[in-house]
Chain A
Amino acid sequence: MATRKETPSTPTAPMASTSPGATLDSPVKQIQIEGLVVLKMIKHYQEEGQGSEVVQGVLLGLVVEDRLEITNCFPFPQHTEDDADFDEVQYQMEMMRSLRHVNIDHLHVGWYQSTYYGSFVSRALLDSQFSYQHAIEESVVLIYDPIKTARGSLSLKAYRLTPKLMEICKEKDFSAEGLKKALIGFEHMFEEVPIVIKNSHLINVLMWELEEKCTVADKHELLNLSSSNHLEKSLQLLMDRVDDMSQDIVKYNTYSRNLSKQQQQKHQYIQRRQQENAQRQTRGETPLPEEDVSKMFKPPQPPPRMDTLLIAGQINNYCQNVKEFTSQNLGKLFMAEALQGHNS
């Protein structure tokens, strides 16, 4: 186990995903993470998370120019029913104070969360990230995917809400018109921030030393050829989301149908009234007073579009995952085929 944990933190393999959509006006353009933080997160998941349960924690660090340095973290305690009156804020403050006493960075710069097959785009995440970013501008959320990691490559991604989304969240206007005005699609909700894992020189030296001492670490996970299990799970989740999406669309459909029907009625009503008034005028009578039409025709409650947007984002995410996974796997299969041909 130790060797596996070691893998990502070795300087030879700093997994840094390049982000395509980092916008210029964001205060954070790059994130530099200490190996310690990564290890601590992984350890946290190993110890407490299992299956589809997620673990969460607080990131601590500093902003240097446009670079966010994350130097430490601590987990949120797991919730149990019997300590319902547990004060989380109090706990965090205490923790940060204690860390400060031992001269560790104590500035709150975001939070981290584990994920299950990349299903993290949710309302809860959006809300909490919004409140973080609202209070501390430079906050990020680190998403750690333990399943992908177990397959051989560390998966760690940092996300921030785009300024556009921040604005919408501030106004709490999730109607179709609001989203349309803000020109926001599921692609523009989160921006990914590139990550660099950095260790101190002393640690690097230690790693070199350790690498020489330890026997060959088995890194077979990377070459695992079995794919169906993972794909099946992903597909299952994808399908669920698609179902949700369908439902949302149906809901929206009925809404817009109702709306248009009502609009028609309203229109008819106004026309009739106008005709009547015109007739009255020709007869020299006083026209009927204009009534408040909007009161008579209450528009149906428009369904909130934010969920649909989130689902779309999630679907996108899944698709990316599947695509990535299949392309990798395909490569592996070709490699295996070649190997087999070579052997025989």
Chain B
Amino acid sequence: RSELTNLIKTIRNAMKIRDMSKCLEEFEQLCRAFLKSKTIVDKEGMPPFYIRLLSDLEDYLNQLWEDKEGKKKMNKNNAKALSTLRQKIRKYNRDYETEIASYKEVRLFAMTTQDGRFLVICCCCFLANNTYQVFGNIFVTFLSQSPGDCGNRMHESFNGRHTSEKKKEDRKKRHKRKERVEEEAEEEAQEEDEGEWEKVKGGVPLVKVGNQMFAKGTEINTTVVVKKLNEILQARGKKGTDRAAQIELLHALANISNENILGEGILVKIKFNIIASLYDYNPNLAAFMKADMWKKCLDCIDELLDILFNNNNIFIGENITEDSENLAIIDSQPFRVRGCILTLVERMDEEFTKIMQNTDPHSQEYVDNLKDEGRVCGIIDRLLGYLETKGSTEEVCRVYLRRIMHTYYKFDYKAHRRALGLQGETKSEQDAEESEGEDSAFIMDRLCKFIYAKDRTDRIRTCAILCHIYHHALHSRWYQARDLMLMSHLQDNIQHADPPVQILYNRTMVQLGICAFRQGMIKDAHNALLDIQSSGRAKELLGQGLLMRNMQERNAEQEKIEKRRQVPFHMHINLELLECVYLVSAMLLEIPYMAAHEFDARRRMISKQFHHQLRVGERQPLLGPPESMREHVVAASKSMKMGDWRTCHSFIINEKMNSKVWDLFPETQCVREMLVRKIQEESLRTYLFTYSSVYDSISMETLKEMFELELPMVHSIISKMIINEELMASLDQPTQTVVMHRTEPTSLQNMALQLAEKLGGLVENNERVFDLKQGVYGGYFNRAFRLDQMAPQKYFDVNLTISSSHDR
């Protein structure tokens, strides 16, 4: 084949310099070579360049022959060669008469039209490629490009050619693309309609379908398109199917159906399939969509929704079978299309989550990806609007949940500001506010209530409740959140839920705890956070990262599953904030408790973790100024233990802690004020517990000054302590003093009491040994005084010391 092209080149060169003998020689060679490649030619059809050469050569020779003067100038050899060549080519060309004729015809017609260059290109390319199939398409493009008059003429001639060529079509098969690339003209042509050419790429069986989307001339109607669509879809999921190509094909199909105005029904169906195959693109469940795929997907869904919104007469649903679909345009009959837009959108949402999970949260990329959330939300909103009118309640519930899932974790700053009574200062901001519509709280309320009322699957309702609580808690509506949590009884049966719901539950509990803390409900905050924090696996429980564990406990498969459960970074709850809130509330509870029960032998710990932190703090050989959040809390606890609220305050609230923790709250100032107040109160309590034994009486005025609390507050705290029998004292109203009763035992007495208790235990244990030996239970009191001699003696000693220290 390359031999042929080479020969043709030399012939053309010879023609240019009028070297007839050379021309003759080459021509003979060419003929031989052509014969040799006869088999290929038979199979693949007439090489177009060959035909062109033959035609050109004949024309050229005829021209020379008529040019008498030129002939005279030629030397003998050349003249002789010319005549022989002329005869030969006449004879030879007779075999290819039809081809040459058609070529000439095209050329002729091309010259006659004004838009010459363009048409030459086009005709050449037709001939060269024998791709009659694309005829129609190119024709269309030309039609649009060339000015009307000329276009019409072209149309006529093309129609003529169309028929003539159709006959040959059977014989002539298509060609590989690379062979067609030969002339500049062709390349140009290629550029013109690249879209169509593309499809021939690759060698998969599918391509055949793609190349000639439809057999030439077939009337493109609904049934044909559907058939084609099914054909394409059959390749889906098969091994070796080029998924990208498949997507392209579907797009092309969509275009075709669009061009042929086949109606929205078919378009919707194709769109459905495009989106489905976009999702299919990644065979691996863990892999996430590439950015361009994702964009395409979003666009597609948007378009689909556009169509659905613009055409009221399209019914879609999963339950519509393939057979009962109605895609064709029939008057007064609505389209019926199988497919579920809700599933697609849900899938899209999941893909979005997956993308967020797989992006490095500290990169710009993450921010860029996050910007798409607006679009995702927009799509969900539109779908919501669509389904509200068309969908079943079940579907509405599902889409509502999606909407909720995108709303619940976001803090509504606008509503917050509105609640504070601060209108947007500038005009534009106000406008923005108004256009924003209702508060997220109202939206949540509306959506959730609908789900509570209508949902029949437990899972959606559970999720909705949790999200609702989370949203309440996030916006400091503590009582609503708490009541909802208690009413739902979720705490009882959450362990039966699936892990993602459990993660959501954990998140909600944490948010609830933080909300309680903001509201100053220290005890509630502590209780809510206790479970999460005491496990030491807060990170894992909240789905915000995996803990390092050895592979025995978790194989690769499990790890993958766990990774898929992770919450995207933008929804994370700040773990340090969480821990700080927990520790501070533990401190506020534990320190007074410790002070009150200093000598209690059976004192239990309120918070193990807090004690652990304290111990860690004690183990430090050298105590520098606190650096981390934990160190701050430990240092604060220590000063609180001494009743020194000022130092405690300075440790809890300072620049470092502000930037680390407190500034993360929306109402920073309120929280800080609450915290200071709590610290003052609890310090006062601690102080009274610790030092009451030193005082005979203490004036409330003094306490008020010491802890900078109002007098009624001091009064109420002390009264409460007296009522709870935590403080053995009475209030002297006229002098405003607290008079201590001094009935609490001294530390030595406490110790002696403890010892006595322990000895009791010891004796009891001893008694059991004795029982075992004797084989009699309860034989302790009947036996000789042998075993208990030791203990009472010691007890006596202790009593002695107590009395002695009392004498002092």
Task: List residues of A whose CB falls within 8 A of some B CB.
Answer: 225, 227-228, 231-232, 235-236, 238-239, 242-243, 245-246, 249-250, 252-253, 256-257, 260, 315, 319, 322-323, 326, 329-330, 333, 337
Extra pairs beyond A231-B801, A243-B758 (9, CB < 8 Å): A235-B755, A235-B798, A239-B751, A242-B758, A242-B759, A246-B761, A249-B769, A250-B765, A326-B801
Report chain B residues within 8 Å CB of A236: 751
* 22 residue pairs bridging A and B, Cβ less than 8 Å apart: A227-B805, A228-B747, A228-B805, A231-B748, A235-B751, A235-B752, A235-B798, A238-B794, A242-B758, A242-B759, A242-B762, A246-B758, A249-B768, A253-B765, A253-B768, A319-B793, A319-B794, A322-B797, A326-B797, A329-B804, A330-B804, A333-B807
Chain B residues within an 8 Å CB radius of A257: 772
**With A and B bound together, what is the CA distance between A256 and B774 in angstroms?**
12
- Select from chain B the residue with minimum beta-carbon distance to A251: B765
The A/B interface has a contact count, at CB < 8 Å, of: 72
Distance in angstroms between the alpha carbons of A228 and B806 in the assembled complex:
11
A235: chain B residues at CB < 8 Å are 748, 751-752, 755, 798
- When the two chains form their complex, are residues B772 and A260 in contact, meaning their CB atoms are under 8 A apart? yes
A239 touches B758 (CB 8 A): yes
Main secondary structure of the interface of B (DSSP, over half): helix
User: Which residues from A are CB-within-8-Å of B798?
Assistant: 235, 322
Closest B residue to A337 using CB positions: B807
What's the nearest-Cβ distance from chain A to residue B553, in Å?
32
Residue in B755, B801, B808 whose CB lies within 8 Å of A239: B755
Q: Which residues of A contact B495 (CB under 8 A)?
A: none
Q: Considering the chains assembled together, what is the distance between the CA atoms of A231 and B800 in angstroms?
A: 12
Decide yes or no: A333 and B765 within 8 Å by CB, A228-B747, A236-B751, A323-B797 being known contacts: no
Q: Which residues of A contact B769 (CB under 8 A)?
A: 249, 252-253, 256
The residues in B between 742 and 772 inclusive whose CB is less than 8 angstroms from any CB of A are: 746-748, 751-752, 754-755, 758-759, 761-762, 765-766, 768-769, 772
B773 within 8 A of A: yes
Instruction: Give Cα distance in the complex from A238 to B756, angstroms.
Output: 11
- Looking at the assembled complex, report how far the CB atom of A240 sits from the nearest CB atom of chain B, in whole angstroms: 10
> How many whole Å from A181's CB to the nearest CB in chain B?
17
CB of A326 within 8 A of CB of B759, answer no
Which residues from chain A contact B793 at a C-beta distance below 8 Å?
Answer: 319
- Is the CB–CB distance between B765 and A326 below 8 Å? no
With known contacts A235-B751, A250-B765, A319–B797 Cβ distance under 8 A: yes
With A242-B759, A326-B797 known as contacts, the answer to whether A232 contacts B808 (CB < 8 A) is: no
CA distance A256 to B761 in the complex (A): 19
Q: Which residues of A contact B765 (CB under 8 A)?
A: 246, 249-250, 253
- List the A side residues contacting B754 at CB < 8 Å: 239
A252 contacts which chain B residues (CB < 8 A)?
769
Cβ distance B21 to chain A, nearest Cβ, rounded Å: 107
A235 to B795, CA, bound (A): 11
Question: How distant is the Cα of A333 from the Cα of B807 in the complex, in angstroms?
Answer: 8
Nearest chain B residue, comparing its CB with the CB of A186: B790
A256 lies within 8 A of B772 (CB): yes
Within the complex, what minimum Cβ distance (angstroms) separates A267 from chain B? 14
Contact A326:B751 (CB < 8 A) given known A227-B805, A256-B773, A333-B807:
no
B803 to chain A, nearest CB (A): 9
Q: Nearest CB to that of B803 among chain A residues?
A: A330
B316 to chain A, nearest CB (A): 72
Give the distance to chain B from A253, nearest Cβ to Cβ, in Å: 5
User: CB-CB < 8 A to B772: which residues of A?
Assistant: 253, 256-257, 260
On chain A, the residues within 8 Å of B768 by CB distance are 249, 253
What is the minimal beta-carbon distance from A289 to any residue of chain B, in angstroms?
A: 33
Smallest beta-carbon distance A24→chain B, Å: 27
CB contacts (< 8 Å) of A238 on chain B: these are 755, 794
CA distance A324 to B335 in the complex (A): 106
- CB proximity of A305 to chain B, nearest CB, Å: 12
Q: With a CB–CB cut-off of 8 A, which chain A residues contact B804?
A: 227, 326, 329-330, 333
Shortest 10 CB-CB contacts between residues of A and residues of B: A249-B765, A235-B751, A228-B748, A242-B758, A246-B762, A326-B801, A256-B772, A239-B755, A253-B768, A253-B769
Closest to B791 in A: A242
A225 to B751, CA, bound (A): 20
Find out whether the CB atom of A242 lies under 8 angstroms from the CB atom of B755. yes
Cβ–Cβ < 8 Å partners of A228 in chain B: 746-748, 805
Residue numbers in B under 8 Å from A245 (CB-CB): 762
Q: Which residues from chain A contact B762 at a C-beta distance below 8 Å?
A: 242, 245-246, 249
Q: How far is the CB of B664 from chain A (nearest CB, A)?
A: 45
Within 8 A of A (CB), among B683-740: none
Contacting residues, chain B, for A256 (C-beta < 8 A): 769, 772-773
Taking the nearest CB of chain A, how far is it from the CB of B293, in angstroms?
63
Q: How near does chain B come to A169, taking the closest CB pair, in angstroms?
A: 24
Taking a contact as CB atoms under 8 Å apart, the answer to whether B808 and A333 are in contact is yes
Bound-state Cα–Cα, A163 to B730, Å: 64
Task: State whether A249 touches B748 (Cβ < 8 A).
Answer: no
Most chain A beta-carbon contacts within 10 A, residue among B758, B766, B807: B758
How far is A243 from B761 in the complex, measured between Cα atoms in Å? 9
Q: How far is the CB of B69 from chain A (nearest CB, A)?
A: 118
Cα A267 to Cα B773 with chains together (Å) = 17
How long is the Cα–Cα vector from A295 to B758 in the complex, in angstroms? Answer: 40
In the complex, what distance in Å separates the CA atom of A256 from the CA atom of B772? 8
Determine which of B752, B766, B801 lies in contact with A249 in the assembled complex, contact meaning CB atoms within 8 Å. Answer: B766
Chain B positions within 8 Å of A315 at CB level: 790, 794
User: A326 CA to B796 CA in the complex, in Å?
Assistant: 11
Query: Chain B contacts of A239 at CB under 8 A?
Result: 751, 754-755, 758
> Which chain B residue lies CB-closest to A239?
B755
> What's the least CB distance linking A211 to chain B, in Å?
35
Q: Is the CB of A326 within 8 A of B752?
A: no
Q: How far is the CB of B259 from chain A (nearest CB, A)?
A: 88
Contact (Cβ within 8 A) B766 A330 = no
Residues of A within 8 A of B751 (CB): 232, 235-236, 239
